[in-house]
Every structure is written in C-alpha cells, then in structure tokens.
Structure 1
Amino acid sequence: MGGTLVHQISGAIVATGVLLLLCTLVERVNSRGAFRWAERWPGVLFGLLNPVFAILVAIPLKLLWATLGVGPLVHLAPLGLGLVGTTFLTLLVTDFLMYWEHRFEHRFFWPVHAVHHSVEQLSAANSYSHPAQFLPMFALITVPLSLIDFGSIAVPALVSTVVFFLQLFIHSPVKLGFGPLRHLFVDPAFHRIHHSLEERHFDRNFSILFSFWDRLFGTQVMPDKGQWPQVGIHEAASPRTVGELLAFPLRLWGILPSLPAAPPIGPAETSALPDADAPANRHSALGV
C-alpha cells in the first residue's frame, strides 16, 4: 500500500509538472502582455501540491466502498459507445458536476475558493486552489463519479488528463482562443470574465470545459472582442507562501488578521467596482 501510494503521488506530481510546463511554454510564445517567470514560481509550488491532496482525499473513498461492498450504480459499457463516445459522455457528466460544484463553492465556500480568485497575475501555474477546496469537490464530483463503471480504465485516465489540462489552459494569459466555438467550449478569454474584478462579471462563466452550461443556467457573459479585464479580489492580495495559502480562508473569516488588500486597479475601471464590503463582492452564485 505504501509503495503504491508513493508511486501514485510521484506520478501525479510528474504529470502535473509536465502539463504546467507545456501550458507555460504556450504562454511564453503566445502571451498577452509581458511574460515573467518570477510571477509563476510560487504557483508552481502550490500547483504541484494539489495532486497530492487529491490522491490523499480519494483513497479513503475507495476503502469505504470496499468495506461497505458498494459497487458501481451506473454501467456505461452496455451503451456501446466505444472508447471515444464513452470518454465524451464522461466529459459531459464530469463538467456538469464541476459546474454545479463551482457554483456551490461561490455560494457556501467562498473564503476557501477565494484563494483561487485572489491571484492578480493569472496563468496556468497560478491556477492553484486551497487544499480544503477538495472537500466539496470530493463530495459533489468524486463521490458521484466513483459510482460509475466506465468499462475501461482508459476512460477516467483520459478524462482526468483532458480536464486538468483545460483547467490550466483556460487560466493562461494567451491570445489563443476558440473563436465561434467559444459558444461550445471554454477558452481563456471566456474564463477570464469569471475572475474579473468588475462587479458585472461576478458569479458568471462558471463552466470549465463546455461553455453552454452557463448559457443553459443563465450565468453566461460572452467577452467582447479584445476584452481582458483585470483579475483578483478586493478582500486581499494573493498568498505568497504556503503558510499564507493555508491561512487565507481564516483571514477572510476574520479568525486571523487580514492581509493587505490587492493593489488598486486602473482609474478608468475604478468606477465600475463596488466597495470591498459590498454584498455583491462576496460571490453568491446560487442566490442570484
């Protein structure tokens, strides 16, 4: 068990590092604005820790199902969709769950999710989250998916790789986009709206893979041509150390002293923003 766990964690760290490097190289050659390596190093450290926490959270679930004798409730193999069809169906189901889990975090778990939104220099490397964010992800995504028999171990492997890569890519400050296909798929400009400091963009564009979930559930804002808003949150600047990362939610809850607020944005956009204590700044997606 110990050797297997070490192998899983080391493999996840290597895979994460490779995907981070790939996205960062794309940013280097296709960047919107200045590219600075120094802005990415803290995020690389935080990002490499994320798969470790994900694996440590998933293991107890496997042990629980084995102990209770709970098997899959849904079997995809009898549908006869093949590897490609089953993978696409699984991507749809996974992204649907991620959409609603994301909205749940904004409504009920904002001080934890705010770590992800606090980044002022958004990139693939800086798309990290707080470890506690795996709790709602575990309950609302991992548990339902664990009750599905995909018919092949290749399906969840492919889905995990595609989802993770696109989660990194949509945070990249690059000129690349999907053009008219943005009405189907999320690209960096579409997701940038979700991280925007502008009040009119709060609680919008929750989708990770398929942008049509936002259209179906009334949370979509299509970016205008060339639109690239400033990102971050008003409550605090992004964490710079692992200690600040872990303590961040406690500061927003008022349990620990707060960190300095994020730097002010340009004067041209200031009038569009609410005060730091305005209710709209607390991201309450399920309440709109």
Structure 2
Amino acid sequence: MSPSLKNTLIGLLVLSLIFFVIERVFGKVRGPLIRRGWMTDVGYWFFTPFVTRVFSKGVILLPAALLVWCGVASVADFQSKAYVGFGPLSHQPIWLQALEIYFISDFLGYWSHRIFHGGKWWAFHAVHHSSEDLDWLSSIRVHPVNDMVTKFVQVTPLLLLGFNPWVTLSTAPFFTLYAIFLHAKLNWDFGPLRAVIATPVFHRWHHSRQREAWDKNFAGLFPFWDILFGTYYMPKGRIPEDFGVAGGFPQDMPRQLWEPVRNLWK
C-alpha cells in the first residue's frame, strides 16, 4: 500500500515526540528545536516514501523476477505471501533464518557502505554525511541511488540463496528504524556492549569530520565487522563532534540530489 501524506505526517510527528523525550529528557540535549538543516531533512522525510522508496522497491523486484523466471517461485507466491523460499536454508526454523539473515545482511551492508565511501560513489553518499547538526532526523537524508544500491546489495543474495523472502524483506524497515536511533543526538555507547551492537556514539563517530574518525564504523548493527576488517573506532572518554562533509556540500535538497549526478561527468 502506498504511503499517504497523512500517515507520513503522523509518522514525523510521532517520532519527533518520541525523540524529543529520548534526546532532551534522557539524553539531556540542549539547543534550539529547529536546528540547521532541519527543513532539508523534513523535505527528505516526505521525498523518501513517495519517490525513493518506489524506486528501491522496483530494484528489489529484480531478484524476485529472476526466481519466477527460473521456475523457483511464481507471481502468485509473492502476491499471497505463501512462498517460504527454496532449498535447505528455507527449511530451517524461522528464528534461525532470522538470525542468519540479519547477520548476513549487516555484513553485506558493511561492504556496500564502504564502497560508497570511495570513487564516484562517494558523492551519492556525501548527501547523507552533509548534516552538520546530527540528530535522529538526519538519518532520512539519503540519496535515492544510495538507497537503491544498498537495498539491492543487502536483499538480492539472501533471496537467491533461498531464505524466507518475508523475513529477508523485514530487514529494510528494521535497519531503517535502527538507523534513526543511531543518528540520535545521544552520547550512549551501551558500556560493555559497545563492541557487540552499534550505538549512537559508534555511528556518530562515523559522521565526524575529525581526521582520525574518517572511514570508520561502517556497520549498521554489529561492530564485529569493523573490528574484523580494521575500521573500528571507539576511543574511551571522548564523544564525536564536528559533523558534515570535509570541504562542504550543498545544504538544500535540490542541489544535493543533483550534485552526485553532475559529478559523474566531471
């Protein structure tokens, strides 16, 4: 079902209230309610469900179409939600599949995230890093190309491996909601669990312009991947600051959407 303008507005108001309490009551954040870049992020809040998400869903249909073409599934399977996958992986208990799916999805997300930090890909991802006053709403600032490629990379291998498609597709809303929390203006690191699960401090270091934090903390859920591949950065007794793109980046949505495309012809 397509999102309605009313539901999108209600979602913004509800999350604004929730994170007002989380950031300003529990997190003891001070400062103006309407910070720099707020209007840009609100623009993305409405742009994403009506434009970006439509294209992203189209990309995710590609592996489903391949399964139908190969005779592994039918269009009716996906329409009725009766299709549970194929092969030995689909015969596992749902809880075990869920653990494997989220673990693999985070691994794939880690590498797609790293790829977006280099070459021509960076300009598309720089949109997300352009927030100079980082909070929960900054998480929604994502270029459509960045969103489409990330979802394609995370979902396609799992569907083609035969995992339950509905558990696989549940990763998209989960990682979206968790990303909103990770961007929150909070100095929470979960203490002894700081290296087990991603936290606001962990991810906010990723957004910092401080030189030592550059190209660190790519994982969306499990910092294990950053520890394994040498990109983990969580200095004790310090908190991330100075957010944004080194050298600057357009701060209005129309130029942010166009700048990466224009960069392709440089």
Smaller-chain TM-score range? 0.7 to 0.9
2: CA distance, partners of 1:50 / 1:246: 12
Partner SS for 1:229: coil
Partner SS for 2:188: coil
- Percent of pairs with identical residues: 28
Q: Does 1:8 align with 2:2?
A: yes
Q: Residue 27 of structure 1 aligns with which residue?
A: 23
2: CA distance, partners of 1:45 / 1:31: 27
Aligned runs of 1:154-193 on 2, under 5 Å?
Answer: 155-156=167-168, 158-193=170-205
Q: Does 1:142 align with 2:155?
A: yes
2: CA distance, partners of 1:221 / 1:210: 13
For residues 217-269 of structure 1, the C-alpha deviation after alignment (integer angstroms, 9 at most, x for no partner) is 111111322422211112324522x31221232465685xxxxxxxxxxxxxx
Q: After the TM superposition, which of the residue ranges 185-194 and 168-177 deviates more from structure 2?
A: 168-177
TM-score using structure 2 length: 0.78
Q: How many residues are paired up?
A: 245
1:8, CA displacement in angstroms?
3.5
Q: Residue 199 of structure 1 aligns with which residue?
A: 211
Long gaps (5+) in structure 2: 74-84
Aligned runs of 1:110-259 on 2, under 5 Å?
Answer: 110-127=122-139, 128-151=141-164, 153=166, 155-156=167-168, 158-240=170-252, 242-250=253-261
CA contact (8 A) 2:24 2:30 kept: no
TM-score using structure 1 length: 0.73
CA contact (8 A) 1:192 1:228 kept: yes
Q: Residue 117 of structure 2 aligns with which residue?
A: 106
Q: Residue 49 of structure 1 aligns with which residue?
A: 47
For residues 32-58 of structure 1, the C-alpha deviation after alignment (integer angstroms, 9 at most, x for no partner) is 442523443421220332244233332
CA contact (8 A) 2:130 2:249 kept: yes
Aligned runs of 1:254-273 on 2, under 5 Å?
Answer: none
1:196, CA displacement in angstroms?
1.3
CA contact (8 A) 2:105 2:155 kept: no
1: CA distance, partners of 2:24 / 2:49: 24
CA contact (8 A) 1:106 1:203 kept: yes
For residues 168-223 of structure 1, the C-alpha deviation after alignment (integer angstroms, 9 at most, x for no partner) is 11111113331110111111111111111111111111111111110011111113
Counterpart code for 1:34: G
Q: Does 1:86 align with 2:97?
A: yes
CA contact (8 A) 2:143 2:257 kept: yes
Q: Residue 58 of structure 1 aligns with which residue?
A: 57
Long gaps (5+) in structure 1: 1-6, 256-288
What is the root-mean-square deviation in Å for CA atoms of aligned residues? 3.0
Partner SS for 2:2: helix
2: CA distance, partners of 1:113 / 1:213: 20
2: CA distance, partners of 1:87 / 1:19: 28
1:10, CA displacement in angstroms?
3.7
Partner SS for 2:47: helix
